[in-house]
Amino acid sequence: MTAAQVPASGAAPAPTQKRGLSRRLARDLTGWAFISPWVIGFIGLTAFPFLFSIYLSLTEYSMAAPPEFIGLENFRFMFFEDRVYWTAMRVTWTYAAIAVPLGMVQSVFIALILNQRVHGIAFFRTAFYVPGMISSVGWMLVWTYLLSKNGAVNWALALVGIEGPSYLNSTTWALPALALMGLFSVGSSMLIMLAALQGVPEHLYEAVEIDGGSDWSKFWNVTLPQISPALFYNLVMSLIGVLQSWQAAYLMTEGGPRNATLFYGLHLYRNAFQYFRMGYACALGWVAFMIILLLTGVNFLASKYWVFYEAD
């Protein structure tokens, strides 16, 4: 209702004003009704568990008995007594340090190749994207075979005279092997980079050519800055994904050998569903959330130095 419609005397609104209120209310209620399934699901399945887990992180809760409040004991144990916590942190960050840069370089490289205008390029784009659509459990089991002592990887290396180890049973090679295996599903990030590449204006490349610039100059001075928003997006999403991943370790190595692939997520899972320490698992989850949140914030702050938006 606008100011012009409010009666000066404060009397009950005129009938036209009431019809306006009813109509707006009806419209609002209709909108809420349409989005209510999502809202109910969000509150019940996301927001409530999210907030309830804060409480659980302050309790001892095995699911066999009600939660018992213990204050910050879970966090104290985590930082000062749980030796496996620091192992899991080290393994996860090492994995991220290998997997994220490699993944980003690979996605840019493949996108550059797929950005060519040649016959049959659609087939190759599809071929590179399809692995990302395959069930991860399926291809992890396949990779377990490929990385075994007598698997295909060692067979290929043997062709050039190299005797490969049993990767998943080696404390040296297990983690790098999982990181390299992760490059198999490059499809999504590659697609984003490809879309960004195709959005780079041609006249910028022409300008470099006119100035006598090389291909490398085009890439460094035009391509990279122009796709930097996509690079930033992939960096943030890759970091978040990698710091939460643990499925490969669960399926392929069970965190071994000798905790060499004990990811943070696996340590959390074990505490929740194998040791029945739900409260501690929630505490682990919240620490991971804060770390990822902090890291994402740092990424956003740093982005102003290297991400260039068209509007800038």
Partner 1 sequence: MARVHSRRDFLRAAAVVGGGATLAACAATPAPAAGTTTGGTEAQAPAEAPVGIPKIRYLTDWYGGARGELTSQFLGEFAEKFPDVATVSYEPAPQVGERLLVEFAAGTAPDIFLWSFTDTPEFKEWLLDLKPFFEVDPEINEPDIIRQHPIFYENGQILALPFQGLFFGEEINVDLFEQAGLPMPWEHDHAGDKWWNWDDFVEAAVAINNLGDDIYGCTLGNDVDGPNWFQWVYSNGGSYWNPDTFETTLASNEATLEAMLMLYKLMCEIKVAMPSEDYTVMAESLGISPEAAGVVGIPRRLEEQGAAAAEINVHRVGIARAPRTNSFMSNHNHQPNCISSKTPYQQEAWELGKYLASTEVQLAIGLNGTSQPCRHSAIESPEYFASQPAIAKEALVEQTQKGEFYPIFKGWREWRTEVRPIVEKLFFCEGDPVDALKEADEVGTAILKRYNEA
Given 3, 12, 15, 83, the residue binding partner 1 (CB under 8 A): 83
Cβ partners under 8 Å of residue 163, min gap 6: 154, 157
Peptide bond into 257 cis (omega under 30): yes
Q: Which residue has the tokens 């040649």?
A: 118
Given 102, 149, 200, 296, the residue binding partner 1 (CB under 8 A): 149
Q: How far is the CB of 32 from partner 1 (least distance, A)?
A: 13
Nearer to partner 1, 26 or 121 (CB): 26
The one-letter amino acid at 100: V
Q: How far is the CB of 250 from partner 1 (least distance, A)?
A: 10
Site for partner 1 in 155-184 (CB under 8 A): 166, 168-170
Give, in order, the Cα–Cα distances in Å from 171 to each of 144, 167, 168, 253.
15, 8, 8, 11
Q: Which residue has the tokens 């938006």?
A: 309
Give, in order, the Cα–Cα distances in Å from 189 to each of 105, 158, 194, 240.
10, 32, 9, 13
Kindly state the helix (H) or strand (E) to which residue 30 belongs, with its residue range: helix 15-42
Determine if 84 is a binding residue for partner 1 (CB under 8 A): yes
Q: How far is the CB of 168 from partner 1 (least distance, A)?
A: 7
Q: How far is the CB of 87 from partner 1 (least distance, A)?
A: 9
Site for partner 1 in 207-266 (CB under 8 A): 251-259
Q: How far is the CB of 265 from partner 1 (least distance, A)?
A: 15
- C-alpha–C-alpha distance, residues 163 and 148, integer Å: 12
Given 12, 274, 310, 312, the residue binding partner 1 (CB under 8 A): 274
- C-alpha–C-alpha distance, residues 114 and 127, integer Å: 11
DSSP tag of 172: T
Determine if 68 is a binding residue for partner 1 (CB under 8 A): no
Q: How far is the CB of 143 from partner 1 (least distance, A)?
A: 9
Determine if 64 is a binding residue for partner 1 (CB under 8 A): yes
Given 32, 86, 155, 275, the residue binding partner 1 (CB under 8 A): 275
Given 5, 22, 46, 62, the residue binding partner 1 (CB under 8 A): 62
Determine if 273 is a binding residue for partner 1 (CB under 8 A): yes
Residue 178: φ, ψ to 5° = -65, -35
Kindly state the helix (H) or strand (E) to which residue 60 belongs, with its residue range: strand 59-60
**Contact positions vs partner 1 (CB under 8 A):** 33-34, 62-64, 83-84, 141, 144-145, 148-149, 166, 168-170, 251-259, 270, 273-276
